[in-house]
Amino acid sequence: MKGFEFFEPTTLAEASRLFAQEHAQLLAGGTDLVIGMKALTETPQSVISLQKIPGLDGITTEGDGISIGAMTKVREVELSADIQNHHTALAEGASEIGSIQIRNLATIGGNIAHASPAADTVAGLLVADAQVDIASADGERSVAIDELFTGPGQTVLAPGEIITRFRLPSPASGSHYIKHKIREVMDLAFIGVAAAVNLDNGTITDARIGLAAVAPTPIRATEAENLLRGNELTAELLQQAGEAAAAAASPISDLRCSAEHRKEMVDVLTRRTLQEAVARA
Amino acid sequence: MASWGEASESRLIGKRVTRLSGKDKVTGKAKYTFDINEPGMLYGRILRSETAHATVIGIDLSEAEALPGVKAVIPLIEVGNKLRYQGQEIAAVAAETDDIAKDAIRRIHVDLEELPHVVTEDDAMVEGAPQIREDWAGNQSEPNVREDGDINAGFDEAAVEVEATYHTPVQTHVCLETHGHVAKWEDEQNLTVWASTQGVFGVRNDFAQHFELPANQVRVITEHMGGGFGSKFGPGIEGRTAVELARITGKAVKLMLTRKAEHLVAGNRPSMTQQVRAGATSDGRLIAYDMKGYGTGGISSGAGFTGPYVYHVPNSRAERVNVAVNAGNQRAMRAPGHPQGAFAMDSLMDELAEKLGMDPVEFRRINDPNEVRQAQYTLGAQEIGWHRRNTVPGAGTSVKKRGMGVGSGQWGGGGGRGTEARVTINADGTVEAVTGTQDIGTGIRTVIAMIVAEEFGLETTDVRVKVGDSQPGLPSGGSGGSQTTPSVAPVIKTAAAAAKQKLFERIAPLLDAPVGDLRVGTGTIYVVSDRTKTITWKQATGQLGMESISEGGTWEEDLRQNGAAGTQFAEVEIDTQTGAIRVIKIVAVQDCGLAINRLTTESQVNGGVIMGLGQAILEERFMDPVTGRMLNANLEDYKVPGTLEIPEIKSIVFDTHRKVTGVGEPPCIPTPGAIANAVYNAIGVRIRSLPITPDKILDALAEKA
Amino acid sequence: MARKSHVQTTINGETVEFLCESRQSLLEVLRDELYLTGAKEGCNNGNCGACSVILDGRLVNSCLVLGVETEGKSVETIEGLADPDKLHPIQDAFLENAALQCGICTPGFIMSAKALLDSNPNPTEHEIRYWLAGNLCRCTGYDKIVKAVMDAAKETSA
């Protein structure tokens, strides 16, 4: 790594001020930043650790909703009973990141802020309709998760802005996340699909489908969702939803996977996640 | 005639014995080359090319030299010479810390004139491709042709024919400890090097020659090393660079390769593309085989592979061409040439069998001259449950489909001369065995201890084994070709036997018996005709007073044998919607001659199978035609098997004779063919290109539909 | 000369102080400054697990942790596992099951196994494989490693 100055601020305001300067990067768990610094794709002159700022981690329930601090370890998200029960797709997504070693360091805030279209927690947050709380030295604001990303590795965060919290409003009846990969663990997602449904007597009152690694940003398959809303899940509807989701995807070909293969898998995995989500509901 | 004796007489040999040196490894005490720290040691790093093909116009070392903490900077290529692959060495630095060394290489400025490159065989062989090797027009070597019989007559006799093309990509070894050395000049004429190597004496001799030192003044030490798989013979440029930096600075220098450099320059298994046409008679005999094949071993090395392989075909023609690309050169990788050849041959066999309407195992029986494998087919088929196999490949409508397949392999492993060893008995009863071989993870240390312990009636923990150091001056060959055990074991055995004989001669008068009547028991020596006459081992050796007995051994050919036959059966499951492939079970029946330590032999078989599995479904070097670089020079996108990829493995150590044969390589040969055949049996479409990945499966299924 | 930070940690139960640059990873500090070479460098970017240590009770890749991040924290490495007079049951189990060949991945696997058994004393085979999936081995084919951990679990939970 190239040399850098290391800061451990104890307040968000201080962190934000430092982060707003040029050539500064935030250190949450280090599993993206430290790898980037070793590869020299990241060469910050200042590294600002968030680890000493109180109140940024932890999972709490607020009525029907769940609040996840941005510095919460991915492993904690994976193991949280509340998240497993009410936002299963998110817990499953968290469990797909790297290895246990990685998940004990990585944070959900880091996974989202790094803004890879293939991030494993993003699809689960999309279908949970998560709100992203953001803080800076100038104040706070909140952004819906599906408005956070502007491109691969890019977000709406202004200089100095730090993600502090994810608020998941209300649980789905059932949700599921599937990551398409080659090895069982330690693989980046070729694609990631999450589906969450709310059921009332067998009718889908709400459906949310989140797709990762198939477009420049993570996306919701809104056409597919519209097809499902208000209906029962028949085999025919399932097929239509899968096709609609695949149509929403605009994946690239890369050394991991071809674009055609990715599109095909969006169809297959949308159907599988929907079936499982409905079964769990 | 020397012999290992009957199995019933063996107390240790052929049994499962805990590995010596294991304790140091499980406690973290074992020092690998990467772990060596010498007082005042400097860190060496190499600047490597990021360009695939360029002429060096200028190298400016001045900024690096000026960096505080840098003690030496040297060029590794002359201006005017060419860089011919990503990773090739440009210059090297020695500095007080590893970080300063890395800072320094970033401050070396190189002026390059880029040249056109080709990094895939297809691009290299196309008409009009840039010629990247002066001596190879069209980037191809002269064809090498081998012929047997008359293929035209053979094809005339054939009732069925198959024409197919099989392909395997370049694979890298992925030793978990990268290549590297710690070099230290004791004085101007004496050099010590800790090396992560499979050949202590080979490295020693290379350094002695290159640095013009007497061989006995170069000491190479490999007490432990973190994997070689064929890639760690000879010091390489990085080894000579470490020694040179140490010479210039007067300090010890540690120079280890990064994981990226390891993928790029530390060797690889060459690729293979085989176009085959083969025929069989109506009664199931292979009759004709015509193959044209090529592969790349990098910029200046070859790409050997077997074909025809294992099965007998009386009329054959094989034409091979090596293709040059701007990439790092091949180095022997676990059974060089065999696994890729086996994949092609075993796939071909199954394709022919299908045309004949024959069971693949039955078809192999007719064409396999090896009696050992005939028995192995029976055993393996039974163990996997071959009768449960799909009769119609791809039958059924379930999303997940299962199938079984078979593959075979043949290796040498008979060892050779060149090992010197010494076994010493001390007066206090302690025993030492020394030889210059290296334990690269095979467990040869333990094997040596077992042989000596068996000979003396002791426990393995009573024997102090010293390997991996050239200083005692007892050479041994490199640990490759599955040669270690068959080369070393006979010499150790005869040395121990000679030492025992000398001890017997000393104590025979004490027991008032002829020397020929003495035997060892467990910790005792007794007279076979009168068991009341017995003394303990310590009492016997106490007779030596102030002396020791120290004997060398000889390489008795009767104690080892060439030829390790193997066969494997695989069961796989394919998700026909996602293309995901899961290997469920592998049965590996492996002839390893006399397995001295059954525990380590089983480990070798398991490890070989997993490496074969990696070749079958995961591993591939990706080259970017545009930049000329390797796209997956890391362990994220170069995928090796992990704990969740492993199938149930049933290893059957198939003892055939009481002679030692090496087993390091044979078990990785049959695996890819067995898996590929199992995939066909499961889904009814054949993947002829490794690795078998989900996208290939889905493409093949789509084509069939 | 780059600025170094003073860091105080607990390593294998003992208070340890060291100086390091902010860019030195915990792995580099352990191996190059403290000469605790049990943790190994296999890939240097979190993909092989050979550098695994236990940090504040959690299994991590020490190559991804900065040395300066460990101020006030506790680190367990392979060197601290055995008692002076006997090995840890996991270490014994690895030896008895021949769960190692070249052995370079072994310290990482053993620390991973320890972290597993600390949190789940009676894991199933699948749980063991899943937990160990962040550790690579090129020699053994893994099955003896898994068996060793199962044996160690029986031993420690007995």
* A92 Cβ contact partners less than 8 Å away, ≥ 6 residues apart: A124, A176, A177, A178
The burial of A254, by beta-carbon neighbours within 10 Å (0-12 exposed, 13-18 middle, 19 or more buried), is given as: middle
Task: Provide the pLDDT for residue A269.
Answer: 95
**Under an 8 A CB cutoff, do C101 and B603 touch?**
yes
- For residues B230 and B480, the answer to whether their CB atoms sit within 8 Å is yes
The burial of B129, by beta-carbon neighbours within 10 Å (0-12 exposed, 13-18 middle, 19 or more buried), is given as: middle
The CATH number covering residue B94 comes to 3.90.1170.50
pLDDT for residue B187 is more than 90: yes
The burial of B237, by beta-carbon neighbours within 10 Å (0-12 exposed, 13-18 middle, 19 or more buried), is given as: middle
Task: Provide the pLDDT for residue B20.
Answer: 77
pLDDT for residue B628 is more than 90: yes
CA distance A208 to C90: 46
User: Percentage of chain B with pLDDT > 90?
Assistant: 85
pLDDT for residue A122 is more than 90: yes
The type of residue at B615 is Q
| Residues A43 and A85 occupy one common structural domain | no
pLDDT for residue B339 is more than 70: yes
Nearest to B644 among A184, A256, A265 (CB): A184
In a domain, B700, yes or no: yes
User: Percentage of chain A with pLDDT > 70?
Assistant: 100
pLDDT for residue B377 is more than 90: yes
Taking only the tens place, the pLDDT of each residue in B245-304 is: 999 999 999 999 999 999 999 999 999 999 999 999 999 999 999 999 999 999 999 999
Range of the domain at C54: 5-80
The CATH number covering residue A273 comes to 3.30.390.50
The CATH number covering residue A113 comes to 3.30.465.10
| Residues B576 and B680 occupy one common structural domain | yes
Which residue in C has a C-alpha nearest to residue B598's C-alpha?
C98
Residue B256: strand pairing partners: B180
Task: Provide the pLDDT for residue A244.
Answer: 97
Query: Which whole number is the average pLDDT over B131-141?
Result: 94
| Residues A179 and A266 occupy one common structural domain | yes
CA distance C38 to C88: 15
pLDDT for residue B402 is more than 90: yes
pLDDT for residue B597 is more than 90: no
Task: Determine the straight-line distance between the first and last CA of chain C, rounded to whole angstroms.
Answer: 54
- Please confirm whether the linkage preceding B691 is cis (ω < 30° from 0): yes
Greater pLDDT, A254 or B566 = B566
Query: Which whole number is the average pLDDT over C68-75?
Result: 98
Chain length of chain A:
281
Nearest partner of A117 among A4, A217, A246, judged by Cα: A217
Query: Interface pTM (ipTM) of the complex?
Result: 0.97
Local confidence band at B349 (pLDDT 50, 70, 90 cut-offs):
very high
Nearest partner of A18 among A40, A44, A46, A52, judged by Cα: A46
pLDDT for residue B663 is more than 90: no
| Residues B688 and B573 occupy one common structural domain | yes
**Under an 8 A CB cutoff, do B642 and A185 touch?**
yes
Nearest to A182 among B622, B631, B639 (CB): B639
**Chains in touch with C (≥3 Cβ pairs < 8 A):** A, B
Suggest the residue from B578, B613, B621 to mutate for an interface test with chain A (most A CBs closer than 10 A). B578
pLDDT for residue C1 is more than 70: no
| Residues B651 and B697 occupy one common structural domain | yes
Query: Which whole number is the average pLDDT over B493-520?
Result: 94
Last residue of a domain, one of A168, A197, A218: A168
Task: Provide the pLDDT for residue B366.
Answer: 97
Query: Which whole number is the average pLDDT over A53-69?
Result: 95
**Under an 8 A CB cutoff, do A187 and B639 touch?**
yes
Task: Provide the pLDDT for residue B1.
Answer: 67
The CATH number covering residue C72 comes to 3.10.20.30
**Under an 8 A CB cutoff, do B578 and A184 touch?**
no
Which residues from B are below 8 Å from C142, CB to CB?
606, 610, 641-643, 646
Structure tokens at B178: 């990268």
- For residues C70 and C9, the answer to whether their CB atoms sit within 8 Å is yes
Structure tokens at C157: 């939970």
Query: Which whole number is the average pLDDT over A117-134?
Result: 95
| Residues B14 and B106 occupy one common structural domain | no
HEC profile of chain A: CCCCEEECCCCHHHHHHHHHCCCEEEECCCCCHHHHHHHCCCCCCEEEECCCCCCCCCEEEECCEEEEECCCEHHHHHHCHHHHHHCHHHHHHHHCCCCHHHHCCCEHHHHHHCCCCCCCCHHHHHHCCCEEEEEECCEEEEEEHHHCEEECCEECCCCCCEEEEEEECCCCCEEEEEEECCCCCCCCCCEEEEEEEEEECCEEEEEEEEEECCCCCCEECHHHHHHHCCCECCHHHHHHHHHHHHHHCCCCCCCCCCHHHHHHHHHHHHHHHHHHHHHHC
Output phi, psi for C97, to 5 deg: -95, 5
pLDDT for residue A175 is more than 90: yes
How far B626 CA sits from the closest chain A CA (Å)?
Answer: 13
Tell me how many domains chain B contains: 3
Mean pLDDT, chain B, rounded, equals 95
User: Percentage of chain A with pLDDT > 90?
Assistant: 88
Q: How many CB pairs under 8 A join A and C?
A: 77
- For residues B171 and B615, the answer to whether their CB atoms sit within 8 Å is yes
Last residue of a domain, one of C80, C114, C136: C80
Output phi, psi for B253, to 5 deg: -130, 130
Local confidence band at B561 (pLDDT 50, 70, 90 cut-offs):
confident
Nearest to A255 among B103, B637, B694 (CB): B637
Which residue in B has a C-alpha nearest to residue C44's C-alpha?
B259
In a domain, B163, yes or no: no
The type of residue at B165 is T
Range of the domain at B237: 33-115+179-256
Quick count: other Cβ atoms within 10 Å of Cβ B411? 26
The burial of B499, by beta-carbon neighbours within 10 Å (0-12 exposed, 13-18 middle, 19 or more buried), is given as: buried
Taking only the tens place, the pLDDT of each residue in B52-68 is: 999 999 999 999 999 99
Last residue of a domain, one of C80, C100, C120: C80
| Residues A185 and A251 occupy one common structural domain | yes
The type of residue at B96 is E
| Residues A163 and A232 occupy one common structural domain | no
CA gyration radius for chain A?
19
* B141 Cβ contact partners less than 8 Å away, ≥ 6 residues apart: B302, B321, B322, B323, B324
Secondary-structure percent of chain C, ordered helix, strand, coil, rounded to 5: 40, 15, 40
| Residues A131 and A187 occupy one common structural domain | no
| Residues B430 and B403 occupy one common structural domain | no
In a domain, A240, yes or no: yes
Range of the domain at A23: 5-49
pLDDT for residue B460 is more than 70: yes
Handedness of CA B449, B453, B454, B458 (dihedral sign): negative
Query: Which whole number is the average pLDDT over B387-398?
Result: 93
| Residues A96 and A195 occupy one common structural domain | no
pLDDT for residue C87 is more than 70: yes
Last residue of a domain, one of C23, C50, C80: C80
